[in-house]
A and B are shown apart, each in its own frame.
Chain A
């Protein structure tokens, strides 16, 4: 049975430093929620408070509607996978898995059966007799996961759990984690600084910076419609265009930037610029098109000179000098025609609804 987690105006201060600043957050039962932020943003403090290892200075924490703010970690019935796994080195894999069950007074035969079942779940059958040091990093990760799940916790907390693994192994474990989540229905709270991991795994991403929640939402919504410069920059790659509003209507804003006149189609749910004020727009590199001649007037376009081309397999990542400053574009490498090269004089163009108006929180 999974539980929801609610943080109510939670603050944690260490002296004058606010590791967590008046955070309110609702994590629905059975969801896979990722706390994403740069290191030192306070995301791990949030997780440690949910786990019970850190007590909030102010505010309340609820699990399934029950106040657990002052409950010690061993009574919360949350599974936790630590950074570095924290497997007990003096116990075998099977003993590690049996640890939480023995504490709960489970009968020996049931313990043995559950340990075997759990080893199957994490694809490590027959490794119960090994010691953690005899396992690879990926196997240790799986044991830690199995140990945290074997007592059917209401919530599974994962602290930078995949960060120490190499890329290929990580991708495999990401899939396994999502698969486990789908099968068990347990609430997963995952902490990471890796934005790709957050995008690919979660139902919902909560972006944390300087102890506060900056924005939250489904991965695609966050990627497509970031609210602020920080979110656009942290989640994926982005070009930033700083301009001044010239004319403004309900549906459209015209602005000047770098001596060019540009247009942006306003979205009903987006931020609204003010007349004659500075405006900041974010533009994903994959929304830019590369053309050798000036495109039509219906789209925005800037002349550019390519300064760097990076081949990334499926795409080229291009850096170019433009009147708007240095810009980056991602174009497919599979299309026909000549491949872009350093020194090429080109046009970069984008649709009027391709960019997003951002709040500058820098």
Chain B
């Protein structure tokens, strides 16, 4: 079809494409670049803000906390997502579809509502602590929020669909006869999984891992509510700089760093995987 497309039709397509591109440029890229520009101009021009990445222990703390939480979140979301995707694919008939439906269902709940739901469950006089104390299992309430445990729990819950769905798509493409073939050649169920199924699902794990990790880096609402100001991730720290301390130069520096770090991460990963496949372009 494209071969037959004459020059006029192509011009029409280009014009149609121009409108959304202009909209993106004026309403997204331009303001974004203005904000990022602040990082090298405010309070004084130069890379003074960026120096603080290496000098301020407070900022380094926030970065390490963020990375630690994101690694845990990604690992747990992948593990649970893998199990869900595998089960959805191997359950007979409608059961697998029901499972996928529940995974998709969680997309319909706003992140804010979910964070509050976790608060109700986890706070010191929340459902879980009350039950455990009534049953006499514990004497004093456990600290389940305002720490990294609460943040990771809330984030994993949110990220599971992002891990499970790409994994499901990848596993769907794995020939179902490969595991029986391995078994027939002498592999135990565990060997067949480790030597055949896992390597085959590795591309899916990498895609899902990239998605989950990058999304996790930018989490704001869940850590703000479940971290309760004690466990602070980078997005919340940026928000505080912009909204409360009005330290725009520092805030926009961290935003720029976050963006550049993600691009760098993708650049490194693109050596090993086809990123167009990861993001579903191909």
Interface residue? B186 (CB, 8 A): yes
B29 CB to nearest A CB, Å? 41
Interface residue? A53 (CB, 8 A): yes
Interface residue? A273 (CB, 8 A): no
Q: A86-B177, A88-B178 are in contact. Are A100 and B183 (CB under 8 A)?
A: no
Q: How large is the interface on B (under 10, 10 to 19, 20 to 34, 35 or more residues)?
A: 10 to 19
What's the A-B contact tally at a CB cutoff of 8 Å? Answer: 60
Q: How distant is the Cα of A94 from the Cα of B72 in the complex, in angstroms? A: 38
- Chain A residues positioned under 8 Å from B178 (CB to CB): 86, 88
Q: A88-B196, A90-B199, A90-B200 are in contact. Are A99 and B182 (CB under 8 A)?
A: yes
Interface residue? B169 (CB, 8 A): no
Q: How distant is the Cα of A103 from the Cα of B189 in the complex, in angstroms? A: 12
Interface residue? B221 (CB, 8 A): no
Whether B180 pairs with A74 at a CB distance below 8 angstroms is no
Q: How distant is the Cα of A83 from the Cα of B181 in the complex, in angstroms? A: 11
Q: How distant is the Cα of A72 from the Cα of B185 in the complex, in angstroms? A: 12
Q: A74-B187, A86-B175 are in contact. Are A80 and B199 (CB under 8 A)?
A: no
Interface residues of B in 32-69 (CB under 8 A from A): none
Mask: chain B, 252-265; 1 = CB below 8 Å from A; 0 = not: 00000000000000
Mask: chain B, 190-226; 1 = CB below 8 Å from A; 0 = not: 0100011001100000000000000000000000000
Q: How distant is the Cα of A73 from the Cα of B183 in the complex, in angstroms? A: 6
Whether B183 pairs with A72 at a CB distance below 8 angstroms is yes
Whether A79 pairs with B184 at a CB distance below 8 angstroms is yes
Whether A53 pairs with B200 at a CB distance below 8 angstroms is no
Whether B185 pairs with A82 at a CB distance below 8 angstroms is no
Mask: chain A, 53-76; 1 = CB below 8 Å from B; 0 = not: 100000000000000000011100
Mask: chain B, 5-47; 1 = CB below 8 Å from A; 0 = not: 0000000000000000000000000000000000000000000
Neighbour of A78 across the interface among B175, B184, B195, B200, CB < 8 A: B184
A133 CB to nearest B CB, Å? 12
Q: How distant is the Cα of A147 from the Cα of B195 in the complex, in angstroms? A: 16
Q: How distant is the Cα of A89 from the Cα of B175 in the complex, in angstroms? A: 9
- Chain A residues positioned under 8 Å from B200 (CB to CB): 89-90
Q: How distant is the Cα of A288 from the Cα of B196 in the complex, in angstroms? A: 56
With both beta carbons as reference points, the residue of chain B lying nearest to A102 in the complex is identified as B195
- Chain B residues positioned under 8 Å from A53 (CB to CB): 180, 183-184
Whether A74 pairs with B183 at a CB distance below 8 angstroms is yes
Neighbour of B184 across the interface among A51, A88, A90, CB < 8 A: A51
Interface residue? B143 (CB, 8 A): no
Whether A73 pairs with B184 at a CB distance below 8 angstroms is yes
Q: How distant is the Cα of A84 from the Cα of B195 in the complex, in angstroms? A: 20
Mask: chain B, 165-183; 1 = CB below 8 Å from A; 0 = not: 0000000000101101111
A319 CB to nearest B CB, Å? 42
Q: How distant is the Cα of A72 from the Cα of B175 in the complex, in angstroms? A: 21
Interface residue? A151 (CB, 8 A): yes
Interface residue? B120 (CB, 8 A): no
Neighbour of B186 across the interface among A86, A87, A90, A151, CB < 8 A: A151
B116 CB to nearest A CB, Å? 45
Neighbour of B180 across the interface among A78, A82, A147, A148, CB < 8 A: A82
Mask: chain A, 166-191; 1 = CB below 8 Å from B; 0 = not: 00000000000000000000000000
- Chain A residues positioned under 8 Å from B196 (CB to CB): 88
Q: How distant is the Cα of A82 from the Cα of B183 in the complex, in angstroms? A: 12
Interface residue? B270 (CB, 8 A): no
Q: A90-B199, A90-B200 are in contact. Are A80 and B181 (CB under 8 A)?
A: yes
Interface residue? A362 (CB, 8 A): no
Interface residue? A17 (CB, 8 A): no
Whether A100 pairs with B186 at a CB distance below 8 angstroms is yes
Neighbour of B181 across the interface among A52, A77, A86, A90, CB < 8 A: A86
- Chain B residues positioned under 8 Å from A100 (CB to CB): 185-186
Whether A82 pairs with B181 at a CB distance below 8 angstroms is yes
Interface residue? A104 (CB, 8 A): yes
Q: A86-B177, A89-B200, A90-B200 are in contact. Are A80 and B182 (CB under 8 A)?
A: no
- Chain B residues positioned under 8 Å from A77 (CB to CB): 186
Q: How distant is the Cα of A1 from the Cα of B191 in the complex, in angstroms? A: 26
Whether A99 pairs with B177 at a CB distance below 8 angstroms is no
Q: How distant is the Cα of A90 from the Cα of B198 in the complex, in angstroms? A: 11
Whether A74 pairs with B188 at a CB distance below 8 angstroms is yes
Interface residues of A in 270-326 (CB under 8 A from B): none
Whether B177 pairs with A74 at a CB distance below 8 angstroms is no
- Chain B residues positioned under 8 Å from A103 (CB to CB): 185-187, 191
With both beta carbons as reference points, the residue of chain B lying nearest to A73 in the complex is identified as B183
Q: How distant is the Cα of A86 from the Cα of B196 in the complex, in angstroms? A: 11
- Chain B residues positioned under 8 Å from A87 (CB to CB): 181
- Chain B residues positioned under 8 Å from A78 (CB to CB): 184
With both beta carbons as reference points, the residue of chain A lying nearest to B179 in the complex is identified as A86
- Chain B residues positioned under 8 Å from A104 (CB to CB): 186
Whether B183 pairs with A99 at a CB distance below 8 angstroms is no
B163 CB to nearest A CB, Å? 22
A266 CB to nearest B CB, Å? 48
With both beta carbons as reference points, the residue of chain A lying nearest to B195 in the complex is identified as A99
Whether A80 pairs with B184 at a CB distance below 8 angstroms is yes
A71 CB to nearest B CB, Å? 12
- Chain B residues positioned under 8 Å from A86 (CB to CB): 175, 177-178, 180-181
Q: How distant is the Cα of A51 from the Cα of B184 in the complex, in angstroms? A: 7
Whether B185 pairs with A147 at a CB distance below 8 angstroms is yes
- Chain B residues positioned under 8 Å from A72 (CB to CB): 183, 188-189
Other CB < 8 Å A-B pairs besides A74-B183, A86-B175, A86-B178, 11 of them? A53-B183, A73-B184, A74-B186, A82-B180, A88-B182, A88-B196, A99-B187, A103-B185, A103-B187, A103-B191, A148-B185
Closest 3 CB pairs of A and B: A86-B181, A86-B177, A100-B185
Cross-chain pairs A/B with CB under 8 angstroms, 12 sampled: A53-B184, A73-B180, A74-B185, A82-B177, A82-B180, A83-B177, A86-B177, A87-B181, A88-B181, A89-B200, A99-B187, A100-B186
B residues touching A (Cβ–Cβ < 8 Å)? 175, 177-178, 180-189, 191, 195-196, 199-200
